[in-house]
Chain A
Amino acid sequence: MSRLISISAKLAGLLGVSLVCCYTPDLDHHVYKCDRGKCPDGLYCADNLYCGKPIEECAILGIKINETTALCLSRTSPTTDQCNAALTSRMTCTQLGVTPELCTGLPGADCAYCCRK
């Protein structure tokens, strides 16, 4: 009987291991360029340049780096900002502590760090 229990435990473990799987790429720590408008699942092409997703910290699209910081992408009008002004401000992101520095490698797009107020 104990042998049966042991086998059952192993099978349950196998079941558990099997369920820890799935396709879940980490897309919050780097930015892809769009390929003719195509981006990874769940992301959208911003200004036909970079892939981001609609998040509340950003005015249009971006990626959430951590709980308080987002990288917001896309061009905006001269009078507006990439950050969602109601929640965040790029002015408060003086100490980012974000490595690597993502905006540096993204020429041609408006890129800003927006931090929670």
Chain B
Amino acid sequence: MCFPRWKSKVSYWVIKLAIPGAAVGSLLAGLLVAGDAEAGRGFRRQRARYECKQSNDIARSELDRARRYWESGMIYYDAKEYAKAHQEFLTAYEISKLPDFLINLAQTSSHMGKGTDAIKYLEDYVQECPGAPDAPMARQRIDELRIAQAIKEGEKPPPSPPLRLPPTPALVLLGAGAGFLIIGAGLGGGAIVASKEVGDASKHGLVFDTSLQSAERRGRALEGAAIGFDVIGGLTLLCGAAWVGAFYYQEKTGLQISLRPSPSGLALAGSF
């Protein structure tokens, strides 16, 4: 069984977190290579019984599989391809359930900006191995990540309050006003067409006959209707806009404005 030296490969933090003289991987290596004839090329470390909770025995073939994923993950990690490294470490963890991989997973998560995941992995590690020599460092790292998370959250703009729509009648007024104006514009267009017909210079010298007289009447009628719709539409629109404006003003300032009937007519009342 031959393992590379399990150190200086992960990251500074992993090295710092791991016990002196060994990287995180060395813990796994220790478990794997204890008693191995070629173990001199790797670190030999067996966890003490009190360090981690008891776990089921893992078949050696499974440990070998986990090791291959770990090695692959390390290559990705060195290449700063943290997502791929994370996936490899995760697979290794799922195969072996060795808590040491939780630190690697925390580290890759941290590199990917997933602070919450990193905290979760470290918490799981501390829970699994409360007596491990690096457990205090893991707890310290959890605190650091939480502070970083809080700072990050603080930098985010405050969530904007949900947009409240103005009262339905105000919107109806706006819509009706716009509708009246559109109708008025259409009628005005008709009046302009009639106007062009009567004012057509090519009709020079012709009799102002009944069709032209009809066009003139039509133009006048359309003009009157257009002006009527424009006035009604404009007033309706203004009322709706004033209502909507008052609504948003109240939303912004908290000032309550109301129009109430009074003995002398209508009264505008306001309150804070």
Interface residue ranges, A against B (CB under 8 Å): 1, 4, 8, 11, 14-15, 17-27, 29-35, 38-41, 51, 100, 102, 105-106
B50 part of interface (Cβ distance < 8 Å): no
Is the CB–CB distance between B205 and A105 below 8 Å?
yes
The 7 closest A-B pairs by CB, nearest first: A21-B188, A25-B199, A30-B204, A23-B219, A26-B199, A25-B198, A32-B208
Q: Can you show 14 pairs from A to B with CB atoms below 8 A apart?
A: A4-B248, A11-B177, A18-B230, A18-B234, A21-B187, A23-B195, A23-B219, A25-B195, A32-B206, A32-B207, A35-B213, A40-B212, A100-B204, A105-B204
Among residues of B, the one whose C-beta sits closest to the C-beta of A10 is: B178
CB distance from B165 to the nearest CB of A (A): 11
Please measure, in the bound complex, the distance between the C-alpha atom of A65 and the C-alpha atom of B237, giving whole angstroms. Answer: 41
Please measure, in the bound complex, the distance between the C-alpha atom of A71 and the C-alpha atom of B210, giving whole angstroms. Answer: 25
CB contact between A22 and one of B196, B202, B227 (< 8 Å): that residue: B227
B142 part of interface (Cβ distance < 8 Å): no
Is the CB–CB distance between B205 and A106 below 8 Å?
yes
Please measure, in the bound complex, the distance between the C-alpha atom of A17 and the C-alpha atom of B202, giving whole angstroms. Answer: 28
CB neighbours of A105 from chain B (8 A): 204-205
Q: Would you give the 0/1 interface string for B187-200, flagging 1 where the beta carbon is closer than 8 Å to chain A?
A: 11101101111111
Is the CB–CB distance between B226 and A18 below 8 Å?
yes
Among residues of A, the one whose C-beta sits closest to the C-beta of B174 is: A11
Q: Would you give the 0/1 interface string for B226-251, flagging 1 where the beta carbon is closer than 8 Å to chain A?
A: 11011001100100010010001000
CB neighbours of A26 from chain B (8 A): 199, 201
Is the CB–CB distance between A31 and B205 below 8 Å?
yes
Please measure, in the bound complex, the distance between the C-alpha atom of A41 and the C-alpha atom of B181, giving whole angstroms. Answer: 27
Is the CB–CB distance between A29 and B191 below 8 Å?
no
B81 part of interface (Cβ distance < 8 Å): no
Please measure, in the bound complex, the distance between the C-alpha atom of A100 and the C-alpha atom of B184, giving whole angstroms. Answer: 36
Please measure, in the bound complex, the distance between the C-alpha atom of A35 and the C-alpha atom of B215, giving whole angstroms. Answer: 14
B156 part of interface (Cβ distance < 8 Å): no
For the complex with contacts A22-B227, A106-B205, 5 further pairs of A-B residues with Cβ separation under 8 Å are A25-B199, A34-B207, A41-B216, A100-B201, A105-B204
